[in-house]
Structure 1
């Protein structure tokens, strides 16, 4: 059976499916600026996407990423206090690419070029409310569970 992911922006939830059966539902946090596809908007893009890259397999929980590469740091309160300006990308990254030309692929609406990910964040960040810069944030333990069930090319639908 083929697995797929749906992200419900209204419910702030992510579901992984196998056929028509939900395997798991997770609370997420999406774009604080709402929905939209325009580059620089800080919004979460809608429509059909695919997992383009899976980054961070085997990294310890709390691994800090910058530019999609592990920095060698593990997130903790002291690191957070030393760098309060950072938008923390932790543990794993599922980098998305849009599948709909003119909607979320190409030009000023390209999800891949906007660096839209499903990624981990500090446990102090609330889930269930939009607070990200456009990405889909998850609890680190939930992300590891999801990551282990994903593959490159897996469909991801983001809907209102």
Structure 2
């Protein structure tokens, strides 16, 4: 955890809610969307992991809202309804990325008896998604989706190294 800011993000999967705590006090709360496949940490599962994480990398702070990312690199495109209609099945990663790494060996870091369970190697992010996508219901491929204005705001409030905990309830 970042000792200077004492930020902590709590992600409640049952409530589809992300809360930002600063110095132990609730500062912001956001409606989110986690995995449609439910909770899990195995590579290829399309699930959202549980447990303690930190923000490993912040990506995209110099990009416009609705910037499109592929492989964590901005493509130069700005998401629009027209662009979305050209690729309706695409999992859009927009605006900002908070790339997470797990801290619990065998749970969300490294491997376990089922194989890779590493949040970082699975490319689990908190990121923007088209604003037409519903929040408050599980629909992602494992990541945490947010409204673009919300992820841009959150991005400015957190630092690499800040704690992120995923809770089932």
TM-score of the superposed pair, with normalisation by structure 2: 0.93
Mark the runs of 5 or more structure 1 residues left unpaired by the alignment.
none
Alignment of 1:8-87 (within 5 A): 8-87=12-91
Q: What are the equivalent positions in structure 2 for 1:104-119 lying under 5 Å apart?
A: 104-107=108-111, 108-119=116-127
CA drift of 1:86 comes to 1.0
Deviations 1:72-105 (A, max 9, x none): 0000011011112210000000000000001000
1:153 is the counterpart of 2:161: yes
Q: Deviations over 1:53-73 (max 9, x none)?
A: 000012110000000000000
1:88 has 2:92 as partner: yes
5+ unaligned residues in a row in structure 2: which ranges?
A: none
| Deviations, residues 15-36 of structure 1 (Å, cap 9, x unaligned) | 0001221000000000000001
Q: Within the alignment, does 1:128 sit opposite 2:140 as a pair?
A: no
Count of residues in Structure 1 that have an aligned counterpart in Structure 2: 160
Q: CA RMSD in A?
A: 0.7
Runs of 4+ aligned structure 1 residues displaced above 4 Å come to: none
